[in-house]
Structure 1
Amino acid sequence: MTEPEQKPDISLRLLEIFGAMMRCDTTVEAAEQLGISQPAVSNGIRQLESQLGVTLFERLHRRLEPTEEAMLLFEDVRPVFSMLRNFSARARAMRHGTSGRLRIMSTPPLGNTVAPVALARFLKDRRDVSVAYDVRRLEHVIDAVQNGAADIGFGLALERHPSVNIETLARTHMVAVALKEHALAAKNEVAVGDLVEHGFIGLEAESRMGQMLRNAFERDGAPYEPRVEVRYCATAALLASAGVGAAVVDPYSAMQQFSHGLVQRPFQPPCEVAAVMITRKGVPRSRLLHGFIAEMKRAISEAAIVT
């Protein structure tokens, strides 16, 4: 019983040499195109012919002319060369951070203010980049980054976490916001006692901002009794712009309502708020991710929030 004929093991490098010879007139020209020596081209062609058992080129008038078999084989492998060029181009784009997919998730304060500015700049010269962008609650952002569903997350008032990396991008303070017609708008700063006197929009205790606000009231020995209570700072700022009352929110949420007649004042006692970046532990950052982080830092810096 005879053994089945073994299929030739042809390397992509040999096919690359074959393709160059089909496009060039001489082995010298093919060598220059590939960036290798002329003997390497000749040896490659001989090796490929040996593996295939087919003569690919004949020397005529001091030139190598492709045989009919070579012409037929070249048509078959032409798509391979196109795939290799596309593969190389995509790899170069990924290496330079101009191609790929990025998954971004943020809480509302940053996700609805500075992050869109950063994203627009990031995508401007990256036509081959696609982005999944979502705005969720902080616990959802952390979970998504931890399990790999998001490449990066952004949030506020999170100093550390055992399951993800936390990097502070900026430190600000919570501010009091109210319509310019409100009694508190005439003050240079708003204290806990002022809110108690005039009524205010509060934040739920389940949120980090809500906990910080309650702690401020406790430090001043004042009762925490909001007229209206909401979960998000953005909602509190929106209600303040509608004339419901004053609110204490993070400065990024206050940014969203500047065009609605709101004024903001420093809040006493000071409640520091850190804007943070959340990334997965043990996972190196791609050039694409580095590019977006740079734009996010730039956008936060340009926001010039001073409280």
Structure 2
Amino acid sequence: MVSARQLEILSTVIEVGTTARAAELLGVSQPAVSNMIRHTEDLVGFPLFMREHGRLTPTKEALHIAQEAQHLFMQQNRIDNIIDELRGGTIGRLSVIATPSVGHGILPRILGQFIKTRPKLQLSIELGSQDEIIRKLGSGQADLGLSITPPRHSAVSVREIANGQLMCVCPAEHELALQEVVSISNLNHVSHISYAARTPLGQMIDTLFSERGLERRYFCEVRHTATALEMVRNGLGVALVDSFAVIGSRGENIAARPTKPTLPLKLYGLTSNMFPTTNLTMQFQQFLADYLEPHGGSGPDDGDL
């Protein structure tokens, strides 16, 4: 079978007319070109050039082969370009499943920045619980999971992407908005929106209250920080919301304050142990980490959002 390299040498010799010039263009020796031409002729079983007075004149058969080879070269160039784009993360498909607080908060903002230089990307975005994230990753239906609580499951690998904290979020005119730092004990004396005791955030907050001899009190129970934030935006009370959910929020007539004690948390990237992690997925995780690094645990850039 004639190789792509043999076709390249054949086409170059036809184009420039001599083995010496072809060798120069191809970066090989003239004998190597001559030997390759003779070997190709042996393979195909008929002459490819007429040799007269030191020049090579291609036969009709050689011209026909070279013409067909151009299609191969064009396809090869296309494949090379695709490989370059895949290496650079500018094409492909990225499937992300995130918990609601991440999916409603920072994810759309960061994706908007990520695809500015990657207009050919195809995206698939879903919101789900940790169990749904693990199931999607384990079945190969998602490339990346994002969560503020790390799952413990052998099917996924967990990477810490960014540091954050829970912030006390309240209407801008609320009494707690006058404080630079909000003590968690104050939450028991206002209309507190909080998380069910069986949720990871509810368990974390209950532990913190219990260590201080307090019992968490709240008038409204929710499951996700995204829900709590929407209720605060509508003036229903105050809530502890992860700092990632409020990054970049402006002009919403709400305020975010750090707490005393600090309630640290992290954003985690989850990938499947059952399937290879794509280059695009790794690039997006790094982009996400770089984007969030300036916000590391400090919450919004200013007090009022």
Q: What band does the TM-score fall into relative to the shorter chain?
A: 0.7 to 0.9
Cα shift at 1:299 = 0.9
Equivalent pair of 2:105/2:226 in contact (CA under 8 Å) = no
Q: Which residue of 2 aligns with 1:196?
A: 188
Whole-angstrom CA distance in 2 between matches of 1:259 and 1:54? 79
Structure 1 residues 91 and 244: CA distance shift in structure 2, 3 A:
same
Q: Which residue of 2 aligns with 1:17?
A: 9
Local SS of the residue matching 2:259: strand
Q: Which residue of 2 aligns with 1:295?
A: 287
Cα shift at 1:256 = 6.6
2:184 is aligned with 1:155: no
Whole-angstrom CA distance in 2 between matches of 1:178 and 1:233? 13
Give the RMSD, CA atoms, in angstroms: 2.7
Structure 1 residues 37 and 98: CA distance shift in structure 2, 3 A:
farther
Q: Which residue of 2 aligns with 1:5?
A: none
Q: What does 1:266-281 align with in structure 2 at a 5 Å threshold? A: 266-281=258-273
Whole-angstrom CA distance in 2 between matches of 1:212 and 1:83? 56
2:186 is aligned with 1:177: no
Cα shift at 1:240 = 0.8
Cα shift at 1:247 = 0.9
Local SS of the residue matching 2:8: helix
Unaligned runs of 5+ in 2: 300-305
Match of 1:49 among 41, 47, 52: 41
Equivalent pair of 1:240/1:247 in contact (CA under 8 Å) = yes
Cα shift at 1:86 = 1.4
Unaligned runs of 5+ in 1: 1-8
2:61 is aligned with 1:69: yes
Cα shift at 1:38 = 1.9
Equivalent pair of 1:191/1:267 in contact (CA under 8 Å) = yes
Equivalent pair of 2:161/2:285 in contact (CA under 8 Å) = no
Cα shift at 1:96 = 4.1
Q: What does 1:205-244 align with in structure 2 at a 5 Å threshold? A: 205-244=197-236
Amino acid corresponding to residue 194 of structure 1 in structure 2:
N
Structure 1 residues 12 and 107: CA distance shift in structure 2, 3 A:
same
Q: Which residue of 2 aligns with 1:3?
A: none
2:30 is aligned with 1:38: yes
Match of 1:130 among 94, 118, 122: 122
Structure 1 residues 33 and 137: CA distance shift in structure 2, 3 A:
farther
Local SS of the residue matching 1:260: coil
How many pairs align? 299
Structure 1 residues 120 and 254: CA distance shift in structure 2, 3 A:
closer
Amino acid corresponding to residue 14 of structure 2 in structure 1:
M
Percent of matched pairs sharing the same residue: 30
Structure 1 residues 103 and 18: CA distance shift in structure 2, 3 A:
farther
Local SS of the residue matching 1:144: helix
Equivalent pair of 2:96/2:145 in contact (CA under 8 Å) = yes
